[in-house]
């Protein structure tokens, strides 16, 4: 596991549980206590957690920093692959339609969709350049890439043109990525334009399936684009905190823990 990924998981656990212990974290991640102390020092400097004697407590600040696409592709890659496989169970019926949001986990799902026997019979709308390119290269013909401005850091299409087009569309299922998920703030991201696109997909889909690896649970970004009540399904990985999973299920969200 990369140090960055371990720190993101520590940040998520701290946000969910409120407080973490150095010894318990060292056992969980199979590293030394000194390694955990260094991780907590980094997270403290970034304002993500506050160090206290023996561990750390959660920070209440909203995050605004976005990771590069290359960094996100490396982070939690095994979990994202498992989540994408589990998401295949929620594909619409043949000749149905779906929204594929921009993101690394949704990109992993798109690659799997291209391999399905009925792939050419689905209508797919996306605002993600890599997804559209991958599906087109696979020979799918019913793929629409929304027009608008492209954000280089995420390769997502955003802006008024894309939003006006989305307002006219409906889909059976929206597969949504997110930077963060909390019970109070719901799904959130750092950029208001991307948040607007995600919100439009959520609003115009019959079912909302969120692909959310465990490192994002308990984190909070600046712009909320959907509440927990807007979510039908959350697909996550086996590292998801049990208390958080229970809390989502108590809110009538179907939580799927993808097998390793």
- CATH match of 69-257 with 3.40.50.1360: yes
Nearest to 239 by CA among 220, 210, 219, 217: 217
Per-residue pLDDT of the chain (260 residues; tens, 9 = 90+): 678 778 878 877 787 777 889 999 999 899 999 999 999 998 888 777 888 888 988 776 555 566 555 555 555 678 899 999 999 999 999 899 999 999 999 999 999 999 999 899 999 999 999 999 999 999 998 999 999 999 988 899 999 999 999 999 999 999 999 999 988 889 999 899 999 999 999 999 999 999 999 988 888 888 899 999 999 999 999 988 888 999 999 999 999 999 98
Of the candidates 211, 134, 221, 228, the one whose C-alpha atom is nearest the C-alpha of residue 176 is 211
Burial of 160 (0-12, 13-18, 19+ CB in 10 A): exposed
Sorted by where each begins, the domain ranges of the chain are 3-58, 69-257
Is 179 in contact with 213 (CB distance < 8 Å)?
Answer: no
At residue 45, the pLDDT reads 83
Indicate the class that CATH gives domain 3-58.
mainly alpha
The yes-or-no answer to whether 3-58 and 69-257 have a common fold is no
């Amino acid at each position: 596991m990369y140090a960055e990924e371990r720190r993101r998981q520590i940040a998520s656990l701290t946000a969910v549980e409120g407080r973490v212990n150095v010894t318990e974290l060292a056992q969980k991640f199979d590293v030394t206590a000194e390694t955990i102390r260094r991780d907590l020092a980094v997270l403290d400097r970034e304002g993500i957690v506050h160090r206290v004697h023996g561990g750390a407590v959660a920070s209440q600040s909203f995050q605004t920093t976005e990771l590069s696409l290359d960094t996100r592709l490396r982070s939690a890659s095994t979990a994202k692959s498992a989540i994408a496989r589990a998401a295949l169970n929620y594909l619409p019926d043949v000749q149905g339609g779906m929204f594929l949001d921009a993101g690394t986990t949704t990109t992993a799902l798109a690659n799997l969709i291209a391999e399905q026997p009925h792939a050419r019979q689905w209508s797919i709308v996306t605002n993600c350049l890599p997804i559209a390119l991958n599906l087109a290269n696979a020979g799918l013909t019913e793929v629409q890439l929304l027009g608008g401005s492209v954000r280089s850091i995420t390769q997502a299409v955003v802006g008024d043109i894309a939003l006006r087009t989305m307002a006219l569309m409906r889909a059976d299922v929206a597969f949504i990525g997110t930077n963060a998920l909390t019970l109070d703030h719901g799904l959130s991201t750092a950029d208001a334009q991307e948040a607007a696109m995600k919100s439009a997909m959520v609003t115009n889909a019959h079912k909302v399936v969120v692909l959310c690896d465990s490192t994002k649970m308990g984190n909070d970004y600046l712009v909320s684009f959907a509440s927990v009540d807007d979510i039908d399904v959350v697909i996550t990985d086996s590292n998801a905190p049990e208390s958080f999973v229970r809390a989502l299920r108590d809110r009538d969200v179907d939580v799927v823990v993808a097998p390793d």
